[in-house]
Structure 1
Amino acid sequence: MANLTFKSNPVTTHGDFPAVGQPAPDFTLVAGDLSELSLADLKGKRVIFNIFPSVDTAVCALQLKTFSQKMASADNTVLLFASLDLPFAFSRFCASEGVENAITASDFRHHSLKENYGVLMESGPLNGLYARAVLVLDAQHNIVHSELVKEVVDEPDYDAAMAALANC
């Protein structure tokens, strides 16, 4: 369980967030075409894995667009975004914002990020949604950067994530 804040008000999460040095836990998400996506589907690729409350909030939208821009020329790397939003919301957002280099996926069906990543907020105004987090995985899917953003309305540390990616 992590202790976070939402606009300075306490928020707790369910479970434990993975740390640097650990293998990334598996997940089963729902892709834009309603097929299932797991970590094994990204085998051999580095991953910048973004988890957040909803693409329909300003900071989450900014997070998706900022990482998409920063990743425009990254090789052998997948930019993955996940929340409990329906896949249709991601498709609408990416089409309207011109985001073409990201994989977006929903955890509405399996809730595997709740169990395996410890990101479900269990209190506060966004109770029931996922907290904001960024993990960078090397090509063997070991965690080389792990950030569970302490203030849910803040952006993640983009530079730290990009530096970790550059070093793996």
Structure 2
Amino acid sequence: MANITFKGNQVTLLGTEVKVGDQAPNFSVLANDLSEVTLDNSKGQKRIISVVPSIDTGVCDAQTRRFNEEASNLNVKVLTVSMDLPFAQKRWCGANGIENVEVVSDHRDASFGEAYGVLIKELRLLARAVFVIDSNDKVTYVEYVSEATNHPNYEAAIEAIKAAE
């Protein structure tokens, strides 16, 4: 598993680490209207899955805004996944003009967290990560951010989505 810290403290990740070349695992999360969202909902599309601990924090806010901005220039589906409640996500998106990213909640089952190996055992939050999945559901880029309060490598993720089929 990836070696991750949260505010300098080592944390334990639950689930299965995803690697480049893997078939993207399916998951079940909730949209802000409480409907179910799965990987299959975007079948045949290139996807960036941006994982954040909590949408209401500075780095998570910046990460979601950056991918929202980038998505307007790319033919890509962007999902931001967090453990925040769908109601809080909806309020945050509305207040911040997020239109190109679908923000979804893993709060109900931690299905995404376990499937992608980002569920922090000690906090029941998700570790910061970015996954790029091509239109054939192959994982083409993975970044488990080593310190959960740091930014991901945005440029590498954008280059990976541009190169994906």
The TM-score with structure 2 as length reference comes to 0.95
2:105 aligns with: 106
Query: Which of 134, 139, 157 pairs up with 2:130?
Result: 134
2:36 aligns with: 36
2:62 aligns with: 62
1:166 aligns with: 162
C-alpha contact 2:71 2:101 (8 A) present in aligned 1: no
2: CA distance, partners of 1:56 / 1:45: 28
2: CA distance, partners of 1:2 / 1:122: 13
2: CA distance, partners of 1:88 / 1:109: 13
1:25 aligns with 2:25: yes
Moved more, 77-86 or 8-17: 8-17
- Structure 1 runs of 4+ with >4 Å offset: none
1: CA distance, partners of 2:10 / 2:108: 28
Letter in 2 for 1:128: R
| Deviation at residue 9 of structure 1 after TM alignment | 2.0
What is the 5 A alignment of 1:120-131? 120-123=119-122, 127-131=123-127
2: CA distance, partners of 1:34 / 1:47: 21
2: CA distance, partners of 1:54 / 1:155: 13
2: CA distance, partners of 1:71 / 1:34: 23
What are the ranges of 5 or more consecutive residues in structure 1 without an aligned counterpart? none
| Deviation at residue 6 of structure 1 after TM alignment | 1.9
2: CA distance, partners of 1:7 / 1:111: 22
Partner SS for 1:162: helix
1:145 aligns with: 141
Letter in 1 for 2:59: V
2: CA distance, partners of 1:107 / 1:3: 22
C-alpha contact 1:17 1:148 (8 A) present in aligned 2: no
Partner SS for 1:67: helix
C-alpha contact 1:2 1:12 (8 A) present in aligned 2: no
What are the ranges of 5 or more consecutive residues in structure 2 without an aligned counterpart? none
2: CA distance, partners of 1:146 / 1:81: 15
**Number of positions where the alignment pairs a residue of Structure 1 with one of Structure 2:** 164
